[in-house]
Structure 1
Amino acid sequence: MDALIPRQDQWLRMEDASAIGAARRIATALASAGGFDDERTGRVGVAVSEAASNLVKHADAGTMLIRPHPEAATTIEIVCVDEGPGMADIVARTRDGYSTAGTLGIGLGAISRLTDAWDVDSRPGRGTVLSMSFHKPGSAAAGTRECGLYRPVGDEVACGDAFAVRDAGDTMTAIVCDGLGHGIAAAAASAEAVRVFRSFPDVSPGTVVTRVHEALGGTRGGAVAVVRVDRVSRKAVYAGVGNISGWIVRADGRQGMVSVPGIAGHRARGVREATYELPEHGVVVMHSDGLTDRWSLQSYPGLLTHTAPVLAGTLLRDWAVRRDDACVLVIRAER
């Protein structure tokens, strides 16, 4: 793979028992590489094995993402997504010893103790999204206020969509880029956009987008958008070129954020910034056109109260319906 393309997230398909062992090996290897001691590495393995076992035995189209947190290498992040029967009674399943069909029997209650942070949303007939994270003791733990997820189209090795986040405490700045087309060349364009984003930490979203536009001239180009969320002033500043969708989501609906037409690296009609008010408990969502923009969180009562990984996992599962690379980024706006 081109050296310019960063490590790609891999979603494991939980289709048979062999996937359980594979998930455990990947998770424990990441824990060891991250400096976890043997006891904590074992906790990671047990929790991942239980989650993987549940996916294999109960879920439809179950997948699991295991990765170092994109912004904190000493945190391991796991997201499990399925289209299975769902669970009507989450409370019952958090009791120790609750088990069905031969799972390990430790239940979600034990998973909640083994992990440093976890969240789950399950809806009968729609499926379940479970997130877990583990961090090395003594290191700064990554939070669950933001989460970006992506996956390539079909059997492509590289995803042409990318994201990056910079958390400065009271402000959070993020980029989403959709490289034109898909595959290695698209991924290289997105990787260059992320490199430029990381190179200019103190400039405005509009300036970042302009510099990305200038830098992508030697690539396929793509759609790109940058947002800065200020949790003190309760404002979001947004700029974009092309068809990245940006939204401010609240309990009763959503508001679109505006990009200018064009393709970063090739043509853009004057990049400009817009400022938006952030409602209480509001959420910022950005995604590539691999997700249809017809989604609405109003069809998921209570989902807006969940962490960013569960929100992002739900949107990717249910609305990445186009045959294209897909990326979604969720930022919770509360302090």
Structure 2
Amino acid sequence: MDLNLHSHLTQVLSVEDISQVGHARRMTQKLAEQAGFDEADCGRVALVVTELASNILKHASSGELHVRALPGDVSGAAPGVEVIAIDRGKGFDVQSCMADGFSTRGTQGIGLGSVLRQAQVFDVHSDPRGSVLLARFFPRKSVVKDLRMGITQHSLHDDPACGDVWEVAIRGQQVSIMMIDGLGHGPEAEEAGMAGARAFIRNPFADPGVLLDDLHFDMRGSRGGAAALAQFDGASGKLRFIGIGNIGATLIGQDKTRGIPSHPGIVGLQYRKTAPIDYADCTGQLLIMFSDGLQSRWNLRDYPGLMYRHPAVIAAVLQRDYNRGRDDVTVLVMDLEMLDD
């Protein structure tokens, strides 16, 4: 799998009124058309989005749909559409709702089992704090390669400019991730982050220490920011990490959770030289990286079963429950595993 993913804001569709169900359906159907879906595939997306938005109104009174385009890769895997339904309702019995025709309060009753068949990738987490449901769609006749990664990015007050910037590059069994939080928020913070992103894109698989120097050089003259780089080698299972400033990072395994430290400083202005940290035997663990728009005092083990859900579900739960609400916020979750060639 060779793939380059670039920073973009998550599109948030509020679901607070019945009129917004139709709007959500039209917006996601348009996204599917732009991804090259035919009429039948667009219909699948429209059906599921209508059901998910209706369920939010019926069972939680209000919530959101988070949607984004999923790019294809050079091997021929098709682009897709991701829809995540998020609410703060009382939760539901996932097992019961998987039955076709099950509907507790008068929605279409297609059942989550039918949603599972309409979407090539499906996952859900529900507890008394609310529910998060993931559906990823690809054209029926296409090659589907689901990347076990979730990313949610939001600007403060829905500003079109976001000071958080991220990049992900995948080459064979290697993954390289960059996250920058430009100082403050708004256009000048975004300018700082994008300067670092351009340096990353030039050579994403360079040694992390060298790559950090490149980010620092290109971010000079901007207001600067926090930055972190993580590189995972699926063949060896080793993760290398280097961070300056307040980008948070955590490794979560079956038996333990490890916080990954960053160092003081501002990339683009001044920081003390430091070497990357190596972590061995990371295959099968979760890597979670986040800007300081997210509170740091969370624990996935407070959510029974959540660490086994799709990374996109995990990212959405963390953003829902731990967003500080006073800065841009980005959460990236990746399952560190062997990648398909």
TM-score, normalised relative to structure 2: 0.90
**Mapped contact 1:253–1:296 kept (Cα < 8 A):** no
Residue 270 of structure 1 deviates from its aligned partner by 0.8
Residue 118 (structure 1) aligns with: 122
**Mapped contact 1:217–1:266 kept (Cα < 8 A):** yes
Residue 10 of structure 1 deviates from its aligned partner by 1.9
Residue 13 of structure 1 deviates from its aligned partner by 1.4
**Mapped contact 2:290–2:332 kept (Cα < 8 A):** yes
Counterpart pick for 1:267 among 257, 270, 295? 270
| 1:12 match: secondary structure | strand
Residue 138 of structure 1 deviates from its aligned partner by 5.5
Residue 136 of structure 1 deviates from its aligned partner by 3.0
Residue 137 of structure 1 deviates from its aligned partner by 4.7
Q: Provide the rounded CA distance (Å) in 1 between the counterparts of 2:303 and 2:254.
A: 10
The letter for the 1-side match of 2:82 is E
Deviates more, 1:242-251 or 1:68-77: 68-77
Residue 293 (structure 1) aligns with: 296
Residue 36 (structure 1) aligns with: 37
**Mapped contact 1:292–1:322 kept (Cα < 8 A):** no
Aligned length, in residue pairs: 329
1:94-243 to structure 2, matched below 5 A, reads 94-123=98-127, 125-137=128-140, 139-243=142-246
Residue 154 of structure 1 deviates from its aligned partner by 2.7
Residue 114 of structure 1 deviates from its aligned partner by 0.5
**Mapped contact 1:246–1:285 kept (Cα < 8 A):** yes
1:72-110 CA deviation, whole Å, 9 max, x = no partner? Answer: 6711111222111111x2111011111122212101111
**Mapped contact 1:83–1:126 kept (Cα < 8 A):** yes
The letter for the 1-side match of 2:105 is A
Q: Provide the rounded CA distance (Å) in 2 between the counterparts of 1:84 and 1:102.
A: 17
Residues 332 and 164 of structure 1, relative CA distance in 2, 3 Å threshold: same
Residues 207 and 306 of structure 1, relative CA distance in 2, 3 Å threshold: same
The letter for the 1-side match of 2:81 is I
Q: Provide the rounded CA distance (Å) in 1 between the counterparts of 2:23 and 2:145.
A: 25
| 2:131 match: secondary structure | strand
Q: Provide the rounded CA distance (Å) in 2 between the counterparts of 1:58 and 1:206.
A: 49
Q: Provide the rounded CA distance (Å) in 2 between the counterparts of 1:325 and 1:255.
A: 25
Q: List structure 1 runs of 4+ shifted beyond 6 angstroms.
A: none
Give the root-mean-square deviation of aligned CA atoms: 2.0
List runs of 5+ in structure 2 lacking aligned partners: 1-5
TM-score, normalised relative to structure 1: 0.92
Residue 96 (structure 2) aligns with: 92
Residue 14 (structure 2) aligns with: 13
Deviates more, 1:21-30 or 1:164-173: 164-173
| 2:156 match: secondary structure | coil
Q: Sequence identity, in percent?
A: 37
Residues 169 and 54 of structure 1, relative CA distance in 2, 3 Å threshold: farther
